[in-house]
């Protein structure tokens, strides 16, 4: 492993982690911490440890994806949207897999610290989350091969991460914050859906049964647009029901980004043509999540006066 680490370039490792997807790991941690701040309880060391663990688990999940897609013959030198460290850069497949396990191991050590500082119930939820990350592309029936990929990614990288982050800093749970976290989960699931829309043709050839394949590309794009719309309407409903302050309406600043991401998918059929739309969807998740985080911080500051 040491030889591989020495010979690989920084750019190779950066692409292996698929940085455009890491927004789905750090945005929920920021949002959960802002919720803790809103309720007057922030623990900076736990926030930083949770952030690092989430990034490691997401990066490891991407590496497992890289490895198992290669093993199953999905990835080749012409594949779009992959890290490409195996098929283009010549990094040994087993090294990529083992590095992912190493990241998982480091995340587990961080998890032990978090559990000592909060509750050992976190270990159970964390272990389930890591297992889901692994079987997403591993095992006899990977989640990524079913219509449930968006559901699992949206749930575990949205509400689960957000509420764990909130819980370890406050020692409690909140239904109102859980409802708010669902909006972030919608958009994280949309990143997965955008990826499946882009990869529809190749996935279909290799036996996948994603929701994009079952619906067909035109309807899948419509579903993506509907998820975008629901994410904003969900916030409006929560403001109306007083689960969140009116400051949450700041998320509407990101509406032009949602429209842009949706429009960039329309009329496209080739995977490389949809790469900008895929990246725009990831950017939307980042903007929406950070604006929601900002609204919670502003709400906390206003409440102090």
CA-CA distance, 215 to 204, in Å (whole number)? 12
CA-CA distance, 153 to 197, in Å (whole number)? 16
pLDDT mean over 135-163 = 92
* Residue 297: burial class (beta carbons within 10 Å; 0-12, 13-18, 19+): middle
pLDDT band for position 84 (cuts 50, 70, 90) = low
Looking at residue 95, what is its pLDDT? 86
Looking at residue 68, what is its pLDDT? 87
Q: Residue 207 has which token pair?
A: 């036996």
Q: Tokens 């920021």 sit at which residue?
A: 30
Q: Which residue has the higher pLDDT, 165 or 61?
A: 165
Q: For residue range 225-284, list pLDDT tens digits in order.
A: 999 999 999 999 999 999 999 999 999 999 999 999 999 999 888 888 998 998 899 999
CB 170 within 8 A of CB 46: no
Radius of gyration of the chain from its Cα atoms, rounded to whole angstroms:
19
Closest residue by Cα to residue 14 from 78, 62, 71 = 62
Looking at residue 8, what is its pLDDT? 53
Looking at residue 11, what is its pLDDT? 67
Whether the pTM exceeds 0.95: the reply is no
CB 225 within 8 A of CB 265: no
Share of the chain above pLDDT 90, in %: 65
- Mind giving me the DSSP string for the chain? -HHHHHHS-HHHHHHHT-GGGTHHHHHHHHHHHHHHHHTT---HHHHHHHHHHHHHHHHHHHHHHHHHHHHTT---TT-SSS--TTTTT---HHHHHHHHHHHHHHHHHHHHHHHHHS-THHHHHHHHHHHHHHHTTSSSS-GGGSTTHHHHHHHIIIIIHHHHHHHHHHSS--HHHHHHHHHHHHHHHHHHHHHHHHTHHHHHHTT---HHHHH-HHHHHHHHHHHHHHHHHHHHHHHHTTSS-GGGGGGGGGHHHHHHHHHHHTT--SGGGGHHHHHHHHHHHHHHHHHHHHHHHHHHHHHT-
Q: How many CA atoms lie within 13 A of 74 on its CB side?
A: 23
Looking at residue 6, what is its pLDDT? 47
Helix 121-135 crosses helix 93-117 at what angle (to 10 degrees)? 160
pLDDT mean over 45-56 = 95
The answer to which of 81-90, 167-176, 234-243 has the lowest mean pLDDT is 81-90
pLDDT mean over 119-145 = 91
């Amino acid at each position: 492993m040491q030889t591989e680490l020495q010979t690989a370039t920084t750019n190779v490792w950066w692409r292996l982690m698929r940085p455009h997807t890491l927004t789905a790991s750090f945005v929920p941690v920021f949002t959960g911490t802002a919720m803790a701040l809103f309720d007057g309880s922030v623990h900076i060391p736990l926030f930083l440890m949770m952030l690092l663990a989430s990034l490691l688990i997401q990066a490891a999940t991407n590496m497992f994806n890289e490895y198992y897609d290669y093993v199953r013959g999905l990835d080749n030198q012409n594949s779009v949207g992959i890290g490409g460290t195996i098929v283009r850069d010549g990094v040994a497949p087993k090294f990529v897999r083992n590095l992912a396990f190493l990241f998982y191991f480091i995340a587990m050590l961080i998890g032990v610290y978090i559990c000592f500082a909060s509750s050992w119930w976190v270990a159970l939820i964390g272990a389930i989350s890591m297992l889901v990350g692994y079987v997403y592309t591993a095992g006899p029936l990977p989640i990524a091969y079913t219509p449930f990929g968006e559901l699992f990614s949206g749930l575990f990288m949205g509400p689960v991460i957000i509420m764990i982050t909130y819980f370890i800093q406050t020692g409690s749970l909140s239904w109102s914050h859980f409802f708010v976290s669902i909006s972030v989960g919608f958009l994280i699931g949309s990143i997965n859906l955008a990826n499946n829309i882009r990869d529809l043709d190749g996935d279909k050839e290799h036996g996948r049964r994603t929701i994009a394949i079952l619906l067909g590309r035109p309807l899948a794009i419509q579903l993506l647009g509907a998820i975008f719309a629901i994410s904003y309407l969900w916030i409006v409903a929560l403001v109306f029901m007083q689960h969140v302050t009116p400051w949450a309406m700041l998320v509407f600043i990101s509406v032009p980004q949602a429209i842009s991401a949706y429009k960039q998918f329309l009329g496209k059929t080739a995977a490389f043509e949809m790469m900008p739309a895929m990246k725009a969807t990831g950017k939307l998740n980042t903007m929406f999540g950070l604006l929601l985080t900002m609204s919670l911080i502003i709400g906390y500051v206003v409440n102090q006066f």
